[in-house]
Each structure stands twice: as C-alpha cells, then as structure tokens.
Amino acid sequence: MADIDASGGGKQKGNKKRSKKQSTKVDMTPMVDLGFLLITFFMLTTTFSKPQSMDVVMPDKSKDKNKQNQDVKASHTISMVLGDDNKVYWWQGIKENGVDPVVTATDYSPKGLRKVLLQKVAEIPKLVVVIKAKKKAKYKNIVDVLDEMSICEVPTYAIVDITPDDIKLTDKK
Amino acid sequence: MPKVKVPRKNVSLDMTAMCDVAFLLLTFFILTTSFKPEEPVVVDTPTSVSETKLPDKNILLISIDKGGRIFFSVDEPDTRKAALQSMSAKYGVKFTDDESNEFANLPSIGLPIQNLKEYLSLSTFDRTKYVQPGIPVDSLNNQLSDWVLYSRSVNNRLTIAIKGDQESNYEISSKVISCLQDQNINKFHFVTGLEANPNKKKKN
C-alpha cells in the first residue's frame, strides 16, 4: 500500500488535477440549442403582435352654430358614394337649378379612383371630399377610400351620412 | 503516452460565450414580448398604407366580424370590472364578486348583458364552443354605447379602436361610429394591416 502511494504520488497528483479540469467542463450544446429555440419563438411572436392602425377623425355632430365650419364653394367639393359590388360613384358640385351633377362610376384600383383624385387635387387646391357609404358597402371600401385620401394628399375630407338624394342619384347609374 | 492525449483535447469547444449571448437575447425577447390577447372571433382586417401603431395600453377595442356581430374589449381589468358594475346597476343584472372577477379576466365579450351571467358560469372549454350573438346596438337597446360610456367614465385615457372585418357591411360600422359620435368621440382608430405606400416607392 505504502509502496503504491509513494510511487504513484507525483503522477496521481497530476492525474487528479486533470480529472478536476475535465469535470468542470459541461457540455453546453443542448443548453445553447434550447436557448436559440426559445429566441426564435419569442422573436416570431413579438414581430407579429402589434397591429397597425389608421387615424379617423369624424366631423363634429354638435349643433352649436359657433363651432360650425365656414361655407365651401360647391364646385370645390367632390361627393363620393361607396356602393355595393366594390363600385364608387363620384360627382363634383351639387344639384344646381334642378340639374343633377354628372355621376361617374369607378373602382378602387390605382387606375380608377386614384387617377381621378390626383387630377382633382392638382386642379383644385382647396378640394373638399365628402365620403358617403351605402348600407351594402363593405368595411374594406371605406378603409380603401381613406387610404386613397392619404395617398393623394387630399387637403380636407370627411365621412358623412348618406342622404336619400344621393341614393337616388347613384341608383340611376 | 503524451502523443495519444493531445488530439483528444481539441475536440470539445468552449460554448460558454455562445450560451451567454443566447440567453441574453432570450431574456430581452421574453421581457419585450406581450402576447396577443385571445380573441373569440377571427377578424380579417383590411390593409392600408397607414403606419401608425396602436398604443400598448388603454385600448378600447370594438371588433366587428364578418357576420356583423360586435365584440367589445378593454385591456385594463380594473376598468372592465368598474364598467361591469355600472352596467349591472343600469340593466338590473346582479353579479357576484366571483363573477365580476371572472369577467375581469375575460379577453372580450360579444353578448347582451342579460346572457353574460350564463356565459360566466361556463367552464373555459365550454366558452370556446358558445356562440356569442354580439352586443346589441339598436337604438332601443344600445348596450355598446353604455359599455363605452361607462368604461370611459372610469378611465378617460382610453384610445378607441375599431377592428372591422373587410367583408362586413358598412351599415354595422356606421352604427358603431354614430354611437361613438353621440358621445362626442370624433377621433378614433381603424385597425388595419400593412400595405405598401405607392407614394413612398416613387420617392425612393
């Protein structure tokens, strides 16, 4: 016993040190795997969670006369009626001397509504667009129209309730 | 003997640094994540070029699904609870403390207050099967308007957002909007998806 201890003493010390060094090292591969797996999961969930939104400001409904806006020239206004089947009807001005304004039907594509709006914005600097929606119009339509307003940089626009006259005008088309 | 030991040492790689980075990122993402609240209906929102984000807190969300049903949700549990108390006082439907606590944990509701008690008594699993009829907005029974009114009277920092399905009829949204306008809320948000802005493309 003594012999073995004495003979292997120096070597064993060295061996012990080595074995200690080996035991401190842990295989981290599974831990890193797990870490990255969780990272991917959280990255994907964060990026898709925040919804986009669109600011909408409606005209004030209050009857207070002092708050009412100033009058606008009828020829500077464009009325837009959102109908069913993804159609939009627009006309400039109002009914004058019993003559109905010319109603044009178009669609929501860049070649339809946007072309009209860009042209009108260039023609009339103080353009006012009045947006009215029929009952059967889709919610998507109103978002599309509001979108066109911001794309074409229309200075003033508002969403208002539709009147029976508007329905009559567009039904003819 | 030493010649044999040398190649063995080189096999293992030190992963400590990599592990550190991985967990640093992990903590960051865990802390920044806020999970989507569970929604009772799938709402397919239309896309728009608007890039405004909704705020994180104090959102009063009115969802409109494809069939025109209206759902209401407020993200603050305290506001929700207080609104329920006012609603129960107005409509004469009594709720126990347990029920109102249960209500505070609900993500959103889409049913008349008269049916709410029955809905709250269901288990979480049964609730997913329950078909909610939507909150009434008729002129005689305008519960949505009351929900909005009471929530706002408790918490006046609420941002109003409308999340409509793109196929829903405008008739329903116009009812919701006029209900908001009656309360002098003229500024609100439409929740939308993202779409490329053609103007920006031109400028770039």
Whether residue B79 sits in one domain with residue B6: no
Q: Is residue B69 part of a domain?
A: yes
Kindly report which listed range (A64-73, A89-98, A141-150, B81-90) carries the lowest average pLDDT score. Answer: A64-73
Number of folded domains that form chain A: 2
Whether residue B153 sits in one domain with residue B81: yes
Q: Are B32 and A43 in contact (CB under 8 A)?
A: no
Q: How far is CA B36 from CA A48, B24, B44, B75, B163, in A?
A: 9, 23, 15, 11, 14
Whether residue A77 sits in one domain with residue A41: no
Whether residue B111 sits in one domain with residue B184: yes
**Quick one: pLDDT band at residue A86, thresholds 50, 70, 90?**
confident
Whether residue B26 sits in one domain with residue B52: no
Q: Is residue A61 part of a domain?
A: no
* pLDDT over threshold 50, residue A9: no
> Hey, which residues 123-152 in chain B have their CB within 8 Å of chain A?
none
Q: Is residue B78 part of a domain?
A: yes
Q: Is B33 within 8 Å of A49 when comparing Cβ atoms?
A: yes
Whether residue A6 sits in one domain with residue A42: yes
Q: Is residue A68 part of a domain?
A: no
Give how far B12 is from chain A: nearest CA, Å: 8
Whether residue A134 sits in one domain with residue A92: yes
Name chain A contacts of B30, Cβ cutoff 8 Å: 38, 42
Residue B167 contacts A, CB cutoff 8 Å: yes
User: What pLDDT score does A63 carry?
Assistant: 62
Whether residue A88 sits in one domain with residue A143: yes
CATH number (domain holding residue A126): 3.30.420
Could you tell me if the ipTM is greater than 0.95? no
pLDDT in tens, A109-166: 878 888 888 888 888 888 888 888 888 888 888 888 888 888 888 888 888 888 888 8
Q: Is residue B68 part of a domain?
A: yes
User: What pLDDT score does B204 carry?
Assistant: 41
Q: Are B60 and B160 in contact (CB under 8 A)?
A: yes
Q: How far is CA B25 from CA A28, A39, B9, B16, in A?
A: 17, 7, 30, 14
Whether residue A156 sits in one domain with residue A122: yes
Residues A21-27: what's their mean pLDDT? 66
User: What pLDDT score does A5 carry?
Assistant: 45
User: What pLDDT score does B203 carry?
Assistant: 42
Interface test with B, best of A32, A47, A117, A139 (most B CBs within 10 A): A139
Residue A39: give the domain boundaries.
2-47
Q: How many CB pairs under 8 A join A and B?
A: 159
Whether residue A43 sits in one domain with residue A117: no
Global pTM? 0.73
Q: Is residue B179 part of a domain?
A: yes
User: What pLDDT score does A4 carry?
Assistant: 44
Whether residue A163 sits in one domain with residue A78: yes
Whether residue A91 sits in one domain with residue A142: yes
Q: Is residue B140 part of a domain?
A: yes
Residue B38 contacts A, CB cutoff 8 Å: no
Q: Is residue A103 part of a domain?
A: yes
Residues A1-7: what's their mean pLDDT? 43
User: What pLDDT score does B66 carry?
Assistant: 86
Whether residue A38 sits in one domain with residue A88: no
**Quick one: pLDDT band at residue A1, thresholds 50, 70, 90?**
very low
Whether residue A164 sits in one domain with residue A94: yes
Q: Are B189 and A55 in contact (CB under 8 A)?
A: yes
Whether residue B96 sits in one domain with residue B165: yes
Name chain A contacts of B193, Cβ cutoff 8 Å: 52
Residues of chain B with pLDDT under 70: 1-12, 35-40, 199-204
> Hey, which residues 51-80 in chain B have their CB within 8 Å of chain A?
51-54, 64
Q: Is residue B85 part of a domain?
A: yes
Whether residue B99 sits in one domain with residue B169: yes
Whether residue A108 sits in one domain with residue A25: no
Q: Which of A29, A50, A135 sits opposite B15 (nearest CB)?
A: A29
CA distance A112 to A107: 5
Whether residue B151 sits in one domain with residue B62: yes
- Assign B41 to helix, strand or coil: coil
Residue B161: give the domain boundaries.
47-196
Q: Is A150 within 8 Å of B50 when comparing Cβ atoms?
A: yes
Whether residue B139 sits in one domain with residue B99: yes
**Quick one: pLDDT band at residue A21, thresholds 50, 70, 90?**
low
Residues A56-65: what's their mean pLDDT? 71
Q: Is B46 within 8 Å of A35 when comparing Cβ atoms?
A: no
Number of folded domains that form chain B: 2
